[in-house]
Structure 1
Amino acid sequence: MAKAKLAVTMDEQTLAEVDALVRQHKFPNRSQVIELAVREKLDRLSKNRLAEQCALLDPDFEEALAEEGMGEEIDQWPAY
């Protein structure tokens, strides 16, 4: 995937921690640290949105919807 350059401003303590990770060879460079941190945050936010939307669902309605029309089909399914 193509990468784009950007400028980032952060407090000195955070930058010192990023630089320490690079010095300890945990990351090859600052960009890798920041890219991974942003990716992990985006993933977490995405999962939170999914959980919030799932919490809005009505389990009884969803179950009824899933079983709707299964009366005829269920008799044709093989036994487990």
Structure 2
Amino acid sequence: MGKAKVAVTIDSALLESVDRYVREHEFESRSSFFENAVAERVERYEKGRLARELDKLDVDEERQTAEEGIEAENEIWPEY
């Protein structure tokens, strides 16, 4: 996947912290730090989004739907 160059504005104290991590060789560069940070944030957001969608499900309704499906399958398949 290609990379895109962006410009961002952040607090100078925060940037100093990033630069310290780069100097201490925790990260290769500012870019690698920010790419890593954004990737982690996107992953957390997507997991949270899934959890929020799952919270919308009605467990009893889903169970009933599943049981109805199983009963219908049992009627279709012959006994052995």
Q: TM-score range by the shorter chain?
A: 0.7 to 0.9
| Partner of residue 36, structure 1 | 36
User: Which has the larger helix fraction?
Assistant: 2
Q: Match for 1:45: what amino acid?
A: Y
Report the CA distance between 1:69 and its aligned residue: 2.9
Q: Match for 2:27: what amino acid?
A: F
Q: CA RMSD in A?
A: 1.7
| Partner of residue 59, structure 1 | 59
Q: Match for 2:51: what amino acid?
A: A
CA shift digits 1:14-61 (9 cap, x unpaired): 100000010010110000000111111111111111111111100011
| Partner of residue 25, structure 1 | 25
Say which SS state the counterpart of residue 69 (structure 1) adopts: helix
Report the Cα distance in structure 2 between the residues aligned to 1:69 and 1:40, rounded to whole angstroms.
39
| Partner of residue 15, structure 1 | 15
| Partner of residue 46, structure 2 | 46
Q: Which runs of 4+ in 1 moved over 2 A?
A: none
**Unaligned regions of 5+ residues in structure 2, if any?**
none
Counting aligned pairs with the same residue, the percent is: 47
Report the Cα distance in structure 2 between the residues aligned to 1:52 and 1:69, rounded to whole angstroms.
26
